[in-house]
Amino acid sequence: MLMRGGTSKGAFFLAEDLPPDPGERDELLLQVMGSPDPRQIDGVGGAHPLTTKVAVVGMSPREDVDIEYLFLQVSVDRPEVSDRQNCGNMLAAVGPFAVERGLIGSDDGKTSVRILMQNTGRVAVSTFPVDDGAPVYAGDTEIAGVPGSAAGIIIEFEDIAGSSTGSLLPTGDMSNQVDGVEVTLIDNGMPVIVMRASDLGVTGYETCGELEANQGLREKLEAIRMTAGPMMNLGDVTDATVPKLTLVTPPREGGALCTRTFIPHRCHQAIGVLGAVSVATACLLPGTTAASLADVAPGSDIVRLEHPTGSFDATVRLGPGPGLEIRGAGIVRTARKLMDGVVFPRSYG
């Protein structure tokens, strides 16, 4: 099934329908998506990382969750499939997909599904409308980066701090110097390197095309990412899609902060869900590169992040006192079923 989840799009499979061997599975998915090829002309990929994603969904043996979700990022121009990160946008469609495929039953009205995110071992609770046993996709919720409106899907994350790196701040510091640039290395659901745009010689208000055309900037960002990877307990990240890199600058449209995010080699037309949660968390922690520029009302746990195509609201609840306890995080997304059928890959194996 092809589905849009948030500002991403990809192929959703039942776990039982894919080869159990990861290598054989990945080879099949490369064929399905048409990678490696910049146009992905011989597959169903969308020729961009945001539209070349895969969700694998199945039942869970755990009693505290309903289903399990494995996210796989298929590269566009390389024969690579990565499971080293999560995707909160695709997560928005996981609950509806599970209902579509009969993995879970549901009463009419609002349905809540507990989802184990296998990439990180953390749990998310997705709540969405159901009518006559089927997900409701039509609604009046609008999210930046997606035309029109759809039914709102509320996602609450449980215990996601340090889900990929082991701790909220992998180095233990609010900021570090990496290749002569002050950065905040943070992981509240997604490992992100947060940097002031001005420290890299740009404004942070440029279009994605302008930033991608800046070869010097891209080389500097990749050098920072290579150095920061081991610092964030991610090891050699040469072939990894994490950490992400977010350039921040003061807001211009009434938000808390303006962002430009590299994922990691293309500039995101918006901002990823879990990446947004990590950046929003940095806004609330004194001493970070984000907090030094952010405009957040005192006591507020809602952080609006401006991005190239609009804004994204993330809710981050901090514990009382001076510690770094993260009580919870939540977002609102939408999703839609695009196509249900059979995909025909070239022969593989």
Q: What is the pLDDT of residue 320?
A: 77
Tokens of 244: 């992400």
Percent of the chain at pLDDT exceeding 90: 90
Q: What is the pLDDT of residue 328?
A: 85
Q: What is the pLDDT of residue 106?
A: 80
Mean pLDDT to the nearest integer, 88-103 = 97
Q: What is the pLDDT of residue 105?
A: 86
25-78 pLDDT, tens digit per residue, is 999 999 999 999 999 999 999 999 999 999 999 999 999 999 999 999 999 999
Q: What is the pLDDT of residue 23?
A: 97
Across 330-346, b (16+ Cβ under 10 Å) vs e yields bbbbbbbbeeeeeeebe
250-304 pLDDT, tens digit per residue, is 999 999 999 999 999 999 999 999 999 999 999 999 999 999 999 998 888 889 9
Q: How confident is the model at residue 324 (pLDDT cuts 50, 70, 90)?
A: confident
Q: Give pTM, 2 decimals.
A: 0.80
Q: What is the pLDDT of residue 300?
A: 83
- CB 261, CB 254: distance < 8 Å: no
Domains of the chain, CATH where assigned? 2-152+334-339 (3.10.310.10), 176-321 (3.10.310.10)
Kindly tell me if the per-residue pLDDT of 321 is higher than 80: no
Kindly tell me if the per-residue pLDDT of 163 is higher than 80: yes
233-250 pLDDT, tens digit per residue, is 999 999 999 999 999 999
Mean pLDDT to the nearest integer, 301-311 = 93
Average pLDDT, the chain: 95
Q: What is the pLDDT of residue 301?
A: 85
- CB 249, CB 202: distance < 8 Å: no
The rounded distance, in Å, linking the Cα atoms of 123 and 158 is 6
Q: What is the pLDDT of residue 3?
A: 98
Q: What is the pLDDT of residue 322?
A: 64
How far, in whole angstroms, is CA 62 from its chain's centroid?
Answer: 24
Kindly tell me if the per-residue pLDDT of 348 is higher than 80: no
